Amino acid sequence: MTTKTTVARTVDRSSRNMVLNIGPSHPAMHGTLRIVAELDGETITKATLEIGYLHCGFEKLAEHRTYNQWLTVTDRMNYVSALANNIGFVLAVEALLGVEVPERCAWIRTVLYELSRLSDHVMNIGLMAMDLGAMTPMLWSFKERETLYDVFEACCGGRMTMSYPRVGGLARDVPKDFKERVRFGIKGIRSYCDEIETMLTKNRIWLDRTQGVGILTKEDAVQYGATGPVLRASGVPYDLRKDAPYLCYDRVDFDVVTSDTCDVNGRYHVRLDEMREAVRIVEQCLDKMPEAGPINVDDYGVILPPKEKVYDQMESLIHHFKLIMEGMRMPVGESYHATEAPNGELGYYVVSGGTGRPHRLHVRAPTFYNYQPYPLMIEGRMISDAIAAMASLNIVAGELDR
Amino acid sequence: MGVKKTKGPKRSAWTEVYLPEIFRGMWNTLRHIFFVKPFTVQYPEEKLKVPGFEASPPGYHGEHRLLLDEEGRPKCVACFMCQTVCPPQCIEIEAMEVDWPDRDKAPKSFKIDMLRCIYCGLCEEACPKDAIELTNQYFTISRTREDKIYDLERLTHNAPDALSYNRPEGLKPEKP
Amino acid sequence: MDLTAIEIIATLAKALVVFTAGMMCTPVLVYAERRLCGFMQDRLGPNRVGPKGLLQPIADAVKSFFKEDLLPANVDRFLWIVAPAIGIAVPILCLAVIPFGASVPLTESYTLIFQVADPDVGVLYVLGVVSLGIFCTTMGGWASNSKFPLLGSLRASAQMVSYEIAMALAVISVVMSTGSLKLSAIVAHQNTDWLGVVPEWHCFTQPLAFLIFFVAAVAENNRIPFDLPECEQELVSGYHTEYSGMRFAMFMMGEYTAIGFMSALIVTMFLGGWSLPWIQLAPASGPSWIGGLVSILVFLVKWALVAFTYIWLRWTLPRFRYDQLMGLGWKALVPLGLANIAVTAFLGVVL
């Protein structure tokens, strides 16, 4: 198999260093990733990465599915924050179509996007702690995620794979007590952040393990295309919510969190503070959201008509039929739209040939670009540092390999 | 500008001696042992319930059921919309011609492979006759893979007590 | 030395009881750990097998017993088989010299002491046998002929050797203030109250030695925060990667029995052993049944508290990196131990 020989050729077997295969099936790997590390004692002298164990052909599948059908696939890329992927995708398709969703839908999407950001960051902090030995915060993270799952389940019926938005709106309207449910869901996040700070932030064991570890300098981060908390912890205040606003981010007030330390500790603090900013954004959105209003665009060439009209009116039935069988009427063209996913810049590049199925669809997965400078971060360091650095990058293998 | 620089803690005598922060962390964990109620839901004796709310509003993407009309026949007209829209292509329908007053076609067989199904709800959205819906029943086991290919008979009788998005109070009692 | 019949029978009976107690450490501590870890994590631990999950360790034992006994092809056979056996034998051997309670008058002429053997060099014996425990981890990793276990066992051997030095230095101060190496003498030395108020336990009179010993004991047992040899996230299970079934269970038993033994040792040397603060359980008038039995209870309560602290620490703290761990052992604990000895010696001369 070509992969094996390629990796083997970069590894110098004649040297005295031990070759350790931190292999695809390993308790700490976030998914199936392989690092072929040459060790000199405990120090990694050379690391070669191998990815692709989880490649499922998501992008190829897009050529054979309509846009709303492929939406269900986007859930499974970054399965920790599924709604972020969904919303990013529908925004890209809507950019190509040139439709604007109604006010209320945009606010709801903003709230859901931030809730999935909370869900992802909470999980990553827990996993970082677990990979470094403190196993308790991970269970507390999952407790917070459970309350967020309940919000998602009330909206759309799914807890992990939501597929809630549709091109041109949402699949269903949110429940009547949506605001109360969201407020209940985020109630525990601030106290969770404070509790984690009590357990970890000033603990010298944690500081020794995370400060100065996994350094990614500003120049390297920019050159490799890293985005998200990884980039912001290296000192670059680049956040698409401020630099290229979408949805309702230009109407709420929040800060972009950066850090100058470029290390694992910096990423940990950036994520913690981003969680607090996300709670701020959600609270503002809940206050500013209109109480009533349409959810979907008014164009039945793009989104399914409501069922009452389908049962009675012939025209709606025909729209419904055409949308299901052939997909929506897309113009010929291409568009790239990126959003600030919890991991970084998640971009969808949609090439449409005028039919209901995309001609080509490429996903700019932030994890893929964040993972590339990983050998830089670990060469010359010990195995324990490699694990800490990997945990701080928040590698989600579904998104990495697609 | 809206950029907030976050700084890690300063290393001082308080952090360097290990012990004060270790004791703080240990006190927090001790508090969890005695003063925080466990979050566990003892399934199957207790079911998941969101405290402070009634339950999730019905609309959970669980198992499918086919709905019947007043004469007790499945409402499905075998239009193949759900089969077309299903992303993993797990629905198989065979149509037959019928001579009933309200429709020309009905399904001869209607199979859903529940193990391929991703429970996305697109079939419920696609149905123009309100014939298929996803209920909030999620816990059915089987011993073989073949058992999990639900056919027309099983789907029409599936989850009779479960709730769904369109029928939040469940099926009306007079339906068979 | 004349051994009467009663002495022989009593010693054999005590040995049997201590052996059983040592083997029972594992189910008790495994159950306690899983339940407490659950409570700390806002969940319930095992609670289905038996009332409140009390039969869970039995279920685990039955499962381990019935697993297939694998012998991988490339291992160094003798060492691989012997390693878990040493792991469990060492702590039980050490348990032989721990005094569990005050003496009771068994017959008119014979006083039963709750200690299987009370050599004059008890402390030295304990330190020596604990050193043998290093063989378990080293041999387990080396014999497995695989890279992850090798890394684990290398880390383990270096760590355990370093922290033994710190342990020994802490113990020396205790021995200096007691004036004897006998463990029963150490407990008797703690059996008084200073000014009638504060018990003269070594955790109050030698706090630094207590701290050093506790940290070194946690490191000797390979528990978080010092569990590099077996951490799951870096090395897939460390030195017991290649083991499964009953052999793995024996490693676990060895680890938990070692925790039980170290807790007992900490209680004996620093927390006053079987003595109660204001009530004299071994009065000068002679041993009594009540005193003896209450003292065993006192010992068990103190032991439980120390074991609870082990579990508490494990689920609270992150783990050290290898070089930081060695730095702590050599650069922090050893100098502190030496300083403590100097101060103890000085105060011993002055006071």
Cβ distance B36 to C42 less than 8 Å, yes or no, reads: yes
Hey, are the CB atoms on C312 and B32 less than 8 Å from each other? Answer: no
In angstroms, the Cα distances linking C78 to C70, C72, C142, C144 are 14, 12, 12, 11
Which of C43, C44, C316 has the CB atom closest to B29's CB atom? Answer: C316
**Cβ–Cβ contacts within 10 Å for residue C26, how many?**
23
Token reading at C265: 């040792």
Chain A CB contacts of C236 below 8 Å: 26-27
Q: Is A390 helix (H, G, I), strand (E, B) or coil?
A: helix
C227 CB neighbours in chain A (<8 A) are: 133
Structure tokens at C118: 């009370």
pLDDT at B52: 61
The DSSP H or E segment spanning B104 is strand B103-113
Distance in Å from the first CA to the final CA of chain C:
39
> CB–CB of C183/C301 below 8 Å?
no
Long-range Cβ contact pairs of A241-247 (< 8 A, separation 24 or more): A241/A340, A242/B2, A244/A338, A246/A91, A246/A337, A246/A339, A247/A87, A247/A91, A247/A106, A247/A109, A247/A110, A247/A113
Contact A205 B18 (CB under 8 A): yes
Q: Is pLDDT at C307 greater than 70 in this prediction?
A: yes
Full domain range(s) for residue A389: 58-298+327-401
Q: Which of A50, A70, A90 is the last residue of a domain?
A: A50
> What pLDDT is attached to residue A1?
41
Of B2, B28, B120, the CB nearest to A72: B120
C224 alpha-carbon distance from chain centroid? 15
**Residue B14 in tokens:** 């308080």
Q: pTM for the whole thing?
A: 0.89
At residue A379's C-alpha, the angle toward residues A377 and A380, to 5°, is 115
**Could you give the C-alpha distances from B102 to B71, B75, B99, in angstroms and in order?**
11, 10, 9
Smallest Cα distance from A213 to chain B, Å = 14
Task: Give per-residue burial for C54-93: e unless 16+ CB within 10 Å, then b.
Answer: ebbbeebbeebeeeeeeeeeebeeebbebbbebbbbbbbb
What whole-number distance in Å separates Cα of residue C2 and Cα of residue B163?
Answer: 84
In a domain, A242, yes or no: yes
Residues A361 and A388 in one domain: yes
- B:C CB pairs within 8 Å: 32
Which of C209, C180, C221 has the alpha carbon at shortest distance from C33? Answer: C221
Contact C316 B26 (CB under 8 A): yes
SS3 A169: strand
- What whole-number distance in Å separates Cα of residue C295 and Cα of residue A276? 53
What span, in angstroms and rounded, lies between the C-alpha atoms of A239 and B2? Answer: 11
Confidence (pLDDT) at A42: 79
**Residue A314 resides in a domain:** no
In chain B the domains, ranked by start, together with CATH numbers, are 64-156 (3.30.70.3270)
Of C38, C40, C43, the CB nearest to B29: C40
- The single residue listed with the structure tokens 């004897």 is C180
Contact C170, C212 (CB under 8 A): yes
- A63/A188 same-domain check: yes
Are A205 and C225 a contacting pair at CB < 8 A? yes
Q: What is the ipTM score, two decimals?
A: 0.87
User: With contact defined as beta carbons under 8 Å apart, do A258 and B3 qualify?
Assistant: yes
Determine what percent of chain C is predicted with pLDDT higher than 70.
96
> Which of chain C's residues have a Cβ under 8 Å away from the Cβ of B21?
none
CB–CB of B53 and A177 under 8 A?
yes
What's the pLDDT at B51? 63
Do A115 and A42 share a structural domain?
no
Q: Which two tokens stand for residue A83?
A: 């709604």
Considering only the beta carbons, identify the residue of A143, A158, A198 that sits closest to B61: A158
**3-state DSSP assignment of residue A247:** coil
Q: Are residues A219 and A178 in the same domain?
A: yes
Residues of A in contact with C224 (CB under 8 A): 133
Per-residue pLDDT 10s for chain A (402 aa) are 444 555 555 666 667 788 888 878 776 657 888 888 888 877 888 888 888 888 999 999 999 999 989 999 998 999 899 999 999 999 999 999 889 999 999 999 999 999 999 999 999 999 999 888 888 999 999 999 988 988 888 888 888 888 899 998 898 888 888 898 899 888 889 889 999 988 888 888 999 889 888 899 999 999 999 999 999 999 899 999 998 898 889 999 988 999 888 899 999 999 999 999 999 999 999 999 988 888 888 888 888 888 888 888 888 888 898 888 888 888 999 999 999 999 999 999 999 988 889 999 999 999 999 999 999 898 888 888 888 898 999 998 888 988
- Residues of chain C with C-beta less than 8 angstroms from the C-beta of A199: 316
Closest CA of chain A from C28, distance in Å: 22
Spatial neighbors of C268 by CB under 8 A, at least 6 apart, are C98, C99, C183, C186, C187
B125 to A304: CB separation less than 8 angstroms, yes or no: yes
pLDDT number for residue A110: 93
In this structure, are A222 and A113 located in the same domain? yes
Give the nearest partner residue to B8 out of A175, A269, A307, using CB atoms: A269
d(Cα B65, Cα B153) in Å, to the nearest integer? 10
Residues A66 and A202 in one domain: yes
User: What integer pLDDT is reported at residue B50 of this predicted model?
Assistant: 66
* CB < 8 Å to A140, chain C: 41-42
CB burial class (10 A; 0-12, 13-18, 19+) of residue A291? Answer: exposed
Instruction: Point out the least confidently predicted range of A151-160, A231-240, C223-232, C314-323.
Output: C223-232
Percentage of residues in chain C having pLDDT higher than 90: 34
pLDDT mean over C146-156: 82
pLDDT per residue over B61-118, tens digit each? 888 889 888 888 888 898 899 999 999 999 999 999 988 888 888 899 999 999 999 9
Query: How far is A115 from A81, CA to CA, in rounded Å?
Result: 9
Report d(CA A242, CA A296) in Å as an integer.
26
Q: Is residue A317 part of a domain?
A: no
Q: CA A45 from chain center: how many Å?
A: 31
Are A157 and B59 a contacting pair, CB within 8 Å? yes
Tell whether A149 and A237 lie within a shared domain.
yes
Find the DSSP H helices in chain C. 5-40, 56-66, 77-94, 122-143, 147-178, 183-189, 202-205, 207-220, 246-270, 289-314, 322-327, 334-350
Name residues 39-58 of chain B within 8 A of A (Cβ): 39, 50, 52-53, 56-57
The answer to whether C318 contacts A132, with C-beta atoms less than 8 Å apart, is yes
pLDDT for the residue numbered A7: 55
- Coil, strand, or helix at residue C75? coil
The pLDDT score that the predictor gives to residue C259 is 93
C316, B25: Cβ pair inside 8 Å?
yes
Q: Report yes or no: C240 and C88 within 8 Å, Cβ to Cβ.
A: no
Structure tokens that stand for A39 in this block? 């060790």
Return the residue of A nearest to B15 by Cα: A204
More confident residue, C279 or C257: C257
How distant is the Cα of B132 from the closest Cα of chain A, in angstroms? 13
Start-to-end Cα distance in chain B = 65
* A8 shares a domain with A83: no
- Phi/psi of residue B96, nearest 5 degrees: -140, 150
* Bridge pairing between strands C104-105 and B132-134: unpaired
pLDDT at position A3 is 47
C6-58 residue pLDDT tens: 888 888 999 999 999 999 889 999 999 999 999 999 898 898 888 888 999 99
- Could you tell me if A44 and A136 lie in one domain? no
Rounded to a whole number, what is the distance in Å from the CA of C47 to chain A's nearest CA?
18
- CA closest to A206 among chain C residues: C318
How far, in Å, CA of A323 to CA of A69, rounded?
11
pLDDT at C65: 87
Q: Which chain B residues are closer than 8 Å to A211 by Cβ? A: 8
Whichever domain contains A352, its CATH number is 1.10.645.10
DSSP assignment of C235-281: SSSGGGTT--THHHHHHHHHHHHHHHHHHHHHHHHHS-TT--SSS-S
Task: Measure CB to CB from residue B40 to each of C43, C313, C317 and give the nearest one.
Answer: C43
Interface test with A, best of B4, B54, B83, B119 (most A CBs within 10 A): B4
Residue A311 covered by a domain: no
Can you read off the two tokens belonging to residue A275?
């969680």
Residue A335 lies in a domain: yes
Contact in structure between C139 and C86 (CB atoms under 8 Å): yes
The distance of A29 to chain B (nearest Cα, Å) reads 26
* Distance separating alpha carbons of residues C256 and C265, to the nearest angstrom: 14
Which pair of structure tokens corresponds to residue C193? 């109250």
> What local confidence, expressed as pLDDT, does residue C336 receive?
93
Q: Both A382 and A356 in a single domain?
A: yes
If one counts the domains in chain A, the total is 2
Least Cα separation, residue B33 to chain C (angstroms): 5
Domain shared by A82 and A28, yes or no:
no
Residues A9 and A87 in one domain: no
CB–CB contact A384 C234 (8 Å) = yes
Q: Which residues does residue A332 pair with via DSSP β-bridges, in sequence order?
A: A353
For C315, the token pair is: 């689920």
DSSP sequence for A274-340: HHHHHHHHHHHHHHHS-SS---S-S-TTTSPPPHHHHHH-HHHHHHHHHHHHH-----EEEEEEEEE
